Amino acid sequence: MLRRVLLCLCLLTMSVAGLTVTDATPASAGLSPVQTRTCANFDSSNNRRLSICARAWVADPAPTQWRGVVEMHTYVLVNGHPMDRTAQSITVNQATFWAKNADGYPIATIDFGNDFSSRSCRVNGASSSQIACSVPNTSRVAFYSTAFNGVAQGSETGVYKVSWRDDVGQPHIVESGSPSSPDHLPIYFKW
């Protein structure tokens, strides 16, 4: 009985505090299988974490439309354990998608992110009507590049710069060549 009471109190406390316990690896974003993407984690000085994953999206059943995808998921670190935390905003600033031929050479290059155009991304789906490279009040999001319409034999997605404003309003920027922990940009996904 005491265990049930303590469990209820713990769950109630976490609900009131706005915390949700998850298996908070990048895969817990629930946006794509972990074996089909490349991921990295970035920790801030105020115990916040951003997980970033790069992957590709291909139309099914006819692979005639291709897109790069950047998935992002924010956490707070509690005693070293990541827990979902809604950020005030999450933004992809600079990413590139390449559609490639059979020899691995690019046949199309598509830059996307807020630094290129705020209208170069679709949010949480290739056919989403929400077009933006930054979203407010979320803990996870997937940004899809504009489409390459044609036949490709492979692809690559690179992520160079991202930013987020955490739940307490502190801004964070992670970009290629800048110090970051534990991982570093750029990250690449090749398919």
Using a pLDDT cut of 70, give the percent of the chain over it.
Answer: 82
Amino acid at 88: Q
pLDDT at 30 over 60: no
User: How far is the C-alpha of 53 from the C-alpha of 152, rounded, in Å?
Assistant: 22
Residue 36: the pLDDT is 79
* pLDDT of residue 33 exceeding 90: no
User: Hey, what amino acid is at 119?
Assistant: R
Confidence of residue 27 (pLDDT cuts 50, 70, 90): very low
pTM: 0.81
Evaluate if residue 8 carries a pLDDT over 90.
Answer: no
Question: Three-state DSSP class for 69?
Answer: strand
pLDDT at 161 over 80: yes
> pLDDT tens digit string along 10-21?
333 332 332 222
Element containing residue 112 per DSSP (H, E): strand 106-112
Per residue in 89-100, pLDDT tens?
A: 999 999 999 999
pLDDT computed for residue 62 by the predictor: 75
Mean pLDDT, range 50-60, rounded to an integer: 93
Q: Residue 35 — very low, low, confident or very high, per pLDDT cuts 50/70/90?
A: low
Contact present, 172 and 166 (Cβ < 8 Å): yes
Higher pLDDT, 63 or 74: 74
- Measured from the Cβ of residue 14, the count of other Cβ atoms closer than 10 Å reads 14
Q: The tokens of 79 are what?
A: 């005693």
Q: Is the pLDDT of residue 135 over 90?
A: yes
